Chain A
Amino acid sequence: MAAPVLRWCCPARRWILANIDRGPRHGRGAPTGSRSSGKRGQSSVAQQPLVTAQKPRKGEHQWAAVVGLEIHAQISSNSKLFSGSQVHFAAPPNSLVSFFDASLPGTLPVLNRRCVEAAVMTGLALNCHINKKSLFDRKHYFYADLPAGYQITQQRLPIAVKGSLAYSVCVGKKRSQVINKTVRIKQIQLEQDSGKSLHDDLRSQTLIDLNRAGVGLLEVVLEPDMSCGEEAATAVRELQLILQALGTSQANMAEGQLRVDANISVHRPGEPLGVRTEVKNLNSARFLAKAIDYEIQRQIEELENGGEILNETRSFDYKLGCTVPMRDKEGKQDYRFIPEPNLPPLLLYDSASLPAGADPQQVINIDQLREQLPELPSVTREKLVQQYGMLPEHSLTLLNEVGLLEFFQNVMKETRAEPKKVTSWVLNTFLGFLKQQNLAVSESPVTPSALAELLNLLDQKAISSAAAKKVFEELWRSGGKTPAQIVSEKRLELMQDQEALEQLCQATMEEHPQVVMDLKKGNPRAINKLIGLVRKATLSRADPTMIKEMLEKQLSS
C-alpha cells in the first residue's frame, strides 16, 4: 500500500521541486521532515568511526568551533500527542489520521498523558528541572504537511529546563583513552510532529501523508558546548541510549524517530562567538559528524579567505559530503507565536504538592515517575566495569552497539569463561564478524548459547584458542551445528595425550636440527618456530604453552 513511484524527500536536491516552488521550512524548532535516506541499518550497528580525522589545514589551530544541537525525538506512545490516532511507522499512507490530525474545523487538542510522562522521565534522566507548570503555544507557518497552519509546541514555558547530558569520547591512537564530557541541556519541550510531503517530480505533484502529523515529539535543545562532529555525534548517541533505556523514544534515526539540527559557528579563542549557521535534517550519526566537521572547515576557510558567514540554514548533501544553503527567499520567518487557547496550562505535581484526593488518572506525580526510572546507560556501564573488571571503553562499545550488551550478558549466563575472555570474544571476534558483513547483532548467525558453549570448551582447555577461532568461523558459516559437533567433526580437540605430544616434540626437534642449533646459540625466538612446527603437526590441536614447556624440558635434558 505504500505510495508507488514516490520517493521520500531527501536532503539537498529533493527540495527543489520540478513544479511546486516552495522554500523549505526553516528556522528553529520547525518539525524537521524525516527525509529518510532509505538506508536502513546504518545506525543499528557497525557505525564507522564517528569522525574521520581531519587533515590539519592552515590556520585551524587558531580557530575554535562551537556546536549546539536541536534534537527531535519521536515519543514512543500508542497514540499521538493530542489525538487518539495510533502511532506506527510505515503504515499505509493516511491510515492513522484522526479528524484533529487533519485539522477538521472544530476539533480540539486533548493532551496525551503518556507523552507528558515520557517528557518528564526524559527530563529527569537528563537532570533537568521539571516545570510544574508549562504552557503550549502555536507556531505558525504554511506548509502542506502541517494541516492546521500551526504546530502546537512549548515556546514560552517548556516542560523541562536546565539539564545536562554526560557522554564519553574515546581518543588516542587506539581510541582507548576515554574522556568524559558534559553538554548542558537548555530545555525539553513537547510538540507535534508534522506530516510528510511526498514529492512526485514526474507528475509535478506533492502528496501528503498525515500518519506522522501530530505524533508527539520531544525537542531537546543542547547548549553549544560541543566543538566537533564527533562530540556531537557521541552526545547524540548517548541521548539515544538514554531515550531507549527509558523507553520514551525508539530513537531510530533511520526511521526518523530521532532527527538532529546542528548550530555551528567558529571564532578565535578569546573573541566573541561567530555568526552561526544551522544545518538541518541530519538523519544519521555519521552524517551528523561529517556535516558538522565539513561546516566547521567551510566556515574557517571562508573567514580565512576574508569572507563572512551568513546566518543561514544549510542542508547536508550526503552524496557530495558537503553542506549547501537551503533556499531561503523570504528571509527570517516570523512564526507569530500565540498561546494555544484550547489547552489549559499543564500542571505537574510532586508528592508534596499532590492535591489530596486527586484522581491518579488526572494528575502526574513527578516523584513517582522518578522512582520508576529504569537503569540508565551510565549506570549500566559503571556496573560492567565494577562487576567484570571491564575497561571503560569496552563498556562504551557494548552499549553503543544495538543488542550487543544483551548478547554479552546472555553469553555470560551460560559460560564459565572469564568475563575478560568473554568481553574480548564479543568485542573483537563477534563484533568484527558482524561489522565485516554489516550485520546487526540480531542478524548474527551465532547465538549467545553457541558462543558460550565454545568459550566453555576453550575454558576447559578442550580446544586451543586457534581451534576456537576455527570453530567460530564454522559456527558463523553453518548455523545449526553446536560447537562440540564442529570440534568433533573437524577433529579440533586439544591433544590431551602427553606422551604422543612429547613424541611429536622430539620428532620435530630431530627434523629441524638447524633451529635447535639457533636456539642453543642463544636466539630465544627460535623456540617459537619450533612451537609453530609442533602445532602444525598437531593440526593446531595442542596448547602452545604445553608445547613450549615440553620443548624446553627436552632441550634442557
Chain B
Amino acid sequence: MLGRTLREVSAALKQGQITPTELCLKCLSLIKKTKFLNAYITVSEEVALKQAEESEKRYKKGHSLGDLDGIPVAVKDNFSTSGIETTCASNMLKGYVPPYNATVVQKLLDQGALLMGKTNLDEFAMGSGSTDGIFGPVKNPWSYSKQYREKRKQKPHGENEETNWLITGGSSGGSAAAVSAFTCFAALGSDTGGSTRNPAAHCGVVGLKPSYGLVSRHGLIPLVNSMDVPGILTRCVDDAATVLGVLAGHDCKDSTTVQDPVKSFILPSLTDVSKLCIGIPKEYLVPELSSEVQSLWSKAAKLFESEGAKVIEVSLPHTSYSIVCYHVLCTSEVASNMARFDGLEYGHRCDINVSTEAMYAATRREGFNDVVRGRILSGNFFLLKENYENYFIKAQKVRRLIANDFVNVFNSGVDVLLTPTTLSEAVPYMEFIKEDNRTRSAQGDIFTQAVNMAGLPAVSVPMALSNQGLPIGLQFIGRAFCDQQLLTVAKWFEKQVQFPVIQLQEIMGDCSSVFENDLASVSLKQ
C-alpha cells in the first residue's frame, strides 16, 4: 500500500481497502525504520494519528474531504506549522514553535491530509545537498536500494559501506527522501534556485516548482522572497498536479499571489504530441554535464521527436550570467531577511547581556552557521550605498535579461523547454563535502536556478537509472502560469519512460512486509 501513488492510495481509502489510521501507522512505522536517513527533523506522530482518527470518522460517514483526506504528507521544516517546532535546521530557530500555519500547510490540513512531520534541509534552505543543517545530512534512500547495491557489488570497492551513502541533493532533501522512501505520499519543499527539483532528481521522484505567484508563500520562512516558491514532491506527475490543485490560488496574506481564479489542474492524458514544440536550450550543454545525463537528455529529445513533436534548439543567451547574478540577489535578500533574527522576539538568544549590540552579535554568531553568515556578509556588502548600483542594480538588470530570454523563446513558439535537472546523479557524501557550500550550490543550481529568476513553472521528472543504478531526472520548463500544460507534457513523458520503482526491501528488513504485496503492483497507471 505504501508504495502506491497518492491517487492510488486515495482510491484505496475511498474504497475502504485501508483506513487512514492504518495508513498513518504504516507510515509512522516506516519513518522509524528509516530514521537513519535523517529525512525528518520532527515526527509529529500524535498530530498525525489524531488527524487520521478524524479522517477515519469522515470516511465512515462518507464525508471525505477529497483526494488528500487521510493521505500522509510531510512538510519541509521551513514552513510554519502551528504548534509544531519549525527549525529551518538552524540553531537560531531550534525550539521555535510557530503560532500559525503556513497557508500551504493549512490548505493541506483543510483537505484532511495527515501531517507526518517536518523534513530536514540545509540551514535556512541554503544549500544543494541537504548536508548543511544542524541536524546532520540527509541520506539518499537510493544508497540502500537493491538497484544501486547490485551495481556496486559488481565493482570491487573495498570502501566502507557505512560512509559511502549518497546525498539527496537539496535543500529539500528531507522531503525528497521522505517521498522516495515511502514514508509519505507527498511532501512540501521550497524552491528558490532548484531546491525542490534538485533533490527530486537525485531521489527519483517528481519535483514541481510552480509559477511564482501561483502558490502562497505566507508562512514559508523566506530565503529569497522574489524567487521562493513552495515546491511539491510526489511519486508521480499526476500526484503533483493533485497537490498543486489544492495549494494554488490567491492568498490575501501574500500580496504576490495572483488574483486570477485558478483553473483546474487535472491532467489530460496526451496521446498526440505532434502539436508540441519542445525547446532544447543550447547553453545548457555545459562541459561539466556528465555524459550519462547528456545522453539521456538527447534520448528524451529524440523520444519527443519520434512521437511527432517539433524539437528545436533554442538559445537563452544570458544563462551563463545567471549563477553570479543569483548570488548577488540571493545574498542581498538573505541579508535583509535574516535581520529579524536578533534574539529578541523568538528563537535563539545568547547569554551575553552587556549590551544590546553584543547580544545581537553573539546571538547571530551562535545561531547561524558559516554558510548563512557568509551570505549575510556578502549581501550586506552588495547593499552598501557605494556598491548598490554596481552589484544589486546590475544583478536586477541581468535578471530581467535572463527572464526576457525565456519570454523570447516562448514567444517564438516553444511550448516547453527540456533540460537536465542536475549535472550528474547523486554523489556520495564524502565526495560532496570536498567542495564548499558555495561552489556546490553554484553547480547544483546550474540548470534550475534561471527558472526562479523568471518565475516560471518547472518540473523534474525521473527518467532512468544511471549505470550506477541511481536516478537521473530531466527538467521541463513551462510558460508562466501554464503549469497545467507543463505537467501534461511531463505526464506524457513519465508514461513513456517508465522509471523503475526504488527497491528498498533489503535495507528495510522486517519492514519489507509493508511492501510485499504493493511494490509489485506499483506502476504509473492510474
Contact = CB atoms under 8 A, between A and B. Distances in A.
A144 B102 CA distance: 26
A144 B349 CA distance: 13
Interface stretch (B146-154, B248-256, B280-288): B248-256
A334 B384 CA distance: 7
A338 B345 contact: no
Interface residues of B, number: 48
A148 interface: yes
Contacts of B422: none
A342 B222 CA distance: 10
Contact of A106 (B221, B333, B383): B221
Given A140-B336, A142-B339, A337-B383, A104 B346 contact: yes
A338 B80 contact: no
Contacts of A19: 354-355
Interface in A312-363: 334, 336-338, 341-344, 362
A336 B384 contact: yes
B218 A108 contact: yes
Nearest to A332: B385
B525 interface: no
A138 B357 contact: no
Contact of A104 (B100, B254, B259, B392): B100
Contacts of B224: 341
Contact of B388 (A106, A148, A337, A362): A337
A99 B99 contact: yes
Contact of B255 (A104, A111, A148, A338): A111
Contacts of A206: 356
Contact of A338 (B86, B96, B100, B332): B332
Contacts of A439: none
Contacts of A484: none
Given A149-B339, A341-B226, A341-B333, A104 B99 contact: yes
Contacts of B345: 102-104, 147
Contacts of A443: none
A472 interface: no
A102 B221 CA distance: 14
- Pick from B226, B339, B360, B388 the residue with the most CB of A within 10 Å: B339
A310 to B, nearest CB: 20
A21 interface: yes
A352 to B, nearest CB: 23
Contacts of B99: 99, 104
A21 to B, nearest CB: 4
A104 B254 CA distance: 15
Nearest to B226: A341
B98 interface: yes
Interface string A78-114: 0000000000000000000001001111111111000
A208 interface: yes
Contact of A336 (B220, B256, B355, B383): B383
A150 interface: yes
Per DSSP, chain A at the interface is loop
A32 to B, nearest CB: 19
A20 interface: yes
Contacts of A111: 255
Contact-residue bracket for chain A: 20 to 34
Given A147-B340, A147-B344, A110 B384 contact: no
Contacts of B219: 106-107
A149 B384 contact: no
B461 interface: no
B218 A106 contact: yes
A22 interface: yes
Contacts of A362: 259
B383 A105 contact: no
A148 B338 CA distance: 8
Given A106-B218, A342-B225, A343-B255, A336 B340 contact: no
Contact of B357 (A21, A99, A107): A21
A69 to B, nearest CB: 24
Interface string B345-362: 110000000111100100
Given A142-B339, A344-B256, A338 B79 contact: no
A341 B219 CA distance: 15
B93 interface: yes
Contacts of B86: 105
Contacts of B220: 106
Interface in A202-234: 206, 208
A22 B218 contact: no
Interface string B56-93: 00000000000000000000000110000010100001
A557 to B, nearest CB: 92
Nearest to A98: B100
B380 interface: yes
A111 B253 CA distance: 10
Nearest to A205: B353
Contact of A342 (B88, B255, B332, B340): B255
A24 to B, nearest CB: 12
B98 to A, nearest CB: 7
Interface in B137-161: none
A364 B98 CA distance: 35
A142 B355 contact: no
Given A20-B355, A336-B383, A338-B332, A105 B221 contact: yes
A359 to B, nearest CB: 9
A142 B256 contact: no
Contacts of A342: 225, 254-256
A66 to B, nearest CB: 25
Interface in A121-149: 138, 140, 142, 144, 147-149
Contacts of A21: 354-357
A88 B158 CA distance: 72
Contacts of B235: none
A202 B338 CA distance: 32
A338 B98 contact: no
A140 B80 CA distance: 24
Contacts of B96: 105
B291 to A, nearest CB: 39
Given A104-B99, A149-B340, 7 more contacts: A99-B99, A103-B340, A105-B93, A110-B253, A147-B340, A149-B338, A338-B336
Interface of A: 19-22, 99, 102-111, 138, 140, 142, 144, 147-150, 206, 208, 334, 336-338, 341-344, 362
